[in-house]
Structure 1
């Protein structure tokens, strides 16, 4: 799973860390999670499958195996540039863009609905949703197009809008977000299986909640008032309407089949099976990379002072990073370098951080590793120079410390594993 393992496995401890990472990736395969979930559903004879997001192919494969190929029609929307490997009868595969919505995303959504429809009371529709779906599956409200939606979305983010405000504005510009897809699929029975890429696993946020009833209309109205003058002049917005009508959601059920906490729990089980000392700092952690690296270093030192002996650790979440240049890298790779800067000469350490989708920012790597081996081969001034240009990936790749997996077909934020002791 780690394609460049032979290059980066420089020490026994790195080998052990990579064993842990590969075990976590294998155990949390979206195909396996969806397969198990579908086997637990009570489905009729007419089953239609719709999958979109970064994990769409793996999720469809799990559903196909569970159904034994017995579905009537299927549509899968995959990220542009991803190798298409899924197969099946009456299956259509479309490509869409991410992270920016485009006309390709609109065409993929429109063609998917047309291929699967019409929808009747006797239909069961499996909707397989994963992160990235917000950009990859879009039907603009009347009078809007993908380019205008992107302009407004960027404006809201630049104006300091949070994810809930952004989703509220998106709901007003879209026919599929904030429950709009559920309305389109009515009166079919809808079963939403979701791979979560957001902290707290909020179904209204993942892919902008296409199957989740828009309950908080007050938040939408507040977002409209807040951003209309700056970001929405002349924009025709869609009314909330049917998306807050409970009858369209009476036949809709959703469940999270995979999340960041599942990865952390599998890491805990792996370390326990190896009978090594370890600490878990939990999942859904967040923060700016510089501050996060300081907090992590402090937590490790406190744990060591209590335990008095070295230990492995595991945690998960999603950090943020301020892009300062045009370098190659991302939050995971910058985090391991920032953490290395926090470590003192008497500390024995390793930190591996990777994005579970296999992509870390503007780089070809999923993440990176920092440890005593790397610190002995790179100077502090050199690290600072690369960080100043947001070029962490270039430095780590040149020092055999970037983790390369390629697209994993997964997406549940970031995972951190490591080791801490004293030299």
Structure 2
């Protein structure tokens, strides 16, 4: 790697580090502690950041508390008073089911004097499965896998998940009633849509069983006759926003994709580089977003519009990958490979794309980097980029070139982070 490539990649990695740092639970939790009540304080939660959130809460809380949270395998953080459970993500498993029941047990029989602090972050949908009557864990797993592969966006996926659960769509808050409930959320969804963060276990849901069935049919998701009949009859309905059972509930966003992008922009400014935030909620097929971003980068490089280089273009959100090949997917690397192909070695342009939770798709990798030499390097190794894109196997492409990013568990999750550096 040349000195200029190294400088570019180090700069981009520094921006990613800044985005991760601002969303760390130990930075966010202390600023959002609830007022103590005269009763018990119970802590529950689910998500890839939930264990780190629980640890930060314990360190900041002055008084007794107990509880249970569930996080992804490998994401546990030791706590003194809060039990940390681990389960599978993105496809739920038996441990997740047991964790959901343990969390419901924690909040049973509470009084108006008690309070529940709920710690929610991305991944909570899969980590806290609690299927409705007539749905087995196996069927829930199969539906979840089908949703992950079909190209549905996160709002669509979570609409279905809410209506096949006893705990999502405000139902966890209902289980806490009449206790006071404060939910602290780290957002990983476009637009910070509260019902979509971990499928909104403490948030009223405006969608219906009919909406869920429409999505199932749109993507031809296989379901049993029992599930279809119950959805058609409205038997799996969620808690609605105006339900009095939610009157004691508060929800607070403590870290968001926009905060991460702003932190990266601040880091760039401190390093003397202008930035332009293109959006925190960009969606669509990853490869198509890559094409669009390549067009914007070329406009900047050639015509100095809408910003003059040297500069960095920042974006977040959650793209999708419709898996048709044999690869493991990964929306960030599929975006990045598409971007590289469209740029075709355009001089002075480098980029990074990573999932802030450290896991992009089914691979234990956060994402990857690319420079204007990436395609040249691939050609030297007789690696054809288009073959890997067609096979939804971008992780293998970048791994073979040695430019994958492996962060391990980041203990937070504010969706995808993308940055394109354009030199003058």
Fold shared, TM-score > 0.5 on shorter chain: yes
Give yes or no for the alignment of 1:303 onto 2:303.
no
Aligned match of 1:73 in 66, 74, 80?
A: 66
Asked whether the equivalents of residues 97 and 130 of structure 2 are also in contact (C-alpha less than 8 Å), the reply is yes
Deviation by residue 1:73-120 (Cα, 9 ceiling, x = unmatched) = 1212111x315332212x322222221223322211111222454311
2:257 to 233, 257, 260: 260
1:246: which partner in 2? 243
Q: Measure the CA separation in 1 of the matches of 2:309 and 2:214.
A: 56
* Cα pair 2:168 2:201 within 8 Å, conserved: yes
Supply the distance in 2 between the matched residues of 1:413 and 1:369 (Cα, whole angstroms): 17
Partner SS, residue 250 of structure 2: strand
Would you say the 8 A contact 1:76–1:93 is kept in 2?
Answer: yes
Report the counterpart of residue 56 of structure 1 in structure 2: 50
Contact 1:155-1:231 within 8 A present in 2 as well: no
Structure 1 distance, partners of 2:249, 2:287, is 42
1:42 equivalent to 2:35? Answer yes
Q: Which residue of 2 aligns with 1:374?
A: 374
Q: How far 1:313 sits from its partner (Å)?
A: 2.3
The SS at the match of 2:378 is coil
2:107 paired with 1:113: no
Q: Work out the CA distance in 2 between the residues paired with 1:241 and 1:324.
A: 33
> Contact 2:131/2:164 (CA < 8 Å) preserved in 1?
yes
CA distance, structure 2, for counterparts of residue 173 and residue 223 of structure 1: 9
2: CA distance, partners of 1:157 / 1:418: 27
Give the 5 Å matches for 1:156-235. 166-216=157-207, 219-224=208-213, 231-235=223-227
Q: CA offsets per residue over residues 382-411 of structure 1, 9 Å max, x none?
A: 212332332222221222211110111112
Which is further off, 250-259 or 102-111?
Answer: 102-111
Residue 47 of structure 1 and its aligned partner are, at CA, apart by 1.2
Can you list the C-alpha shifts for 1:28-59, whole angstroms capped at 9, x where unaligned?
A: 21232122211xx2221421100211111111
SS of residue in 2 equivalent to 1:320: coil
Distance in 2, Cα, partners of 1:101 & 1:395? 28
* CA 1:76–1:9: 2 relative to 1, 3 Å: farther
User: Does the Cα contact within 8 Å between 1:353 and 1:416 map onto a contact in 2?
Assistant: yes
Q: Describe the superposition over 1:3-50 as per-residue Cα deviations: whole angstroms up to 9, x where unpaired.
A: xxx9x9961221222222222212221232122211xx2221421100
Equivalent of 1:82, from 70, 74, 82?
74
Q: Is the 8 A contact 1:165 1:220 kept in 2?
A: no
Q: Following the alignment from structure 1 to structure 2, what is the Cα–Cα distance between the partners of residues 167 and 386? A: 29
State the partner residue of 2:411. 409
Equivalent pairs, count: 409
Q: 1:338 to 1:164 in 2, by over 3 A?
A: closer
- What do the CA deviations read for 1:260-309 (whole angstroms, capped 9, x no partner)? 11111111111122222332212111222222122112212333413554
Distance (whole Å) between structure 1 residues aligned to residue 387 and residue 329 of structure 2: 13
- Determine the C-alpha separation between the residues in 2 that align with 1:355 and 1:365: 9
Change in Cα spacing, 1:239 to 1:24, as seen in structure 2 (3 Å) is closer
Give the drift of 1:328: 5.0
Determine if contact 2:44/2:118 at 8 Å carries over to the other structure. Answer: yes
User: What are structure 2's unaligned runs of at least 5 residues?
Assistant: none
Q: Secondary structure at the match of 2:280?
A: coil
Q: Where in structure 1 are there 5+ consecutive unaligned residues?
A: 1-5
Report the Cα offset of residue 155 of structure 1. 6.4
The structure-2 alpha-carbon separation of the partners of 1:227 and 1:57, relative to structure 1 and needing over 3 Å to count, comes to: closer
Residues 236-385 of structure 1 aligned to structure 2 (within 5 Å) = 236=230, 238-240=235-237, 246-304=243-301, 305=303, 306=305, 307=307, 309-327=309-327, 330-379=330-379, 382-385=384-387
CA RMSD between the two structures: 2.9
SS in 2 for 1:284: strand
Distance 1:327 1:264, change over 3 A: same
The question of whether the paired residues in 2 share the 8 Å contact of 1:75 and 1:116 is answered with no
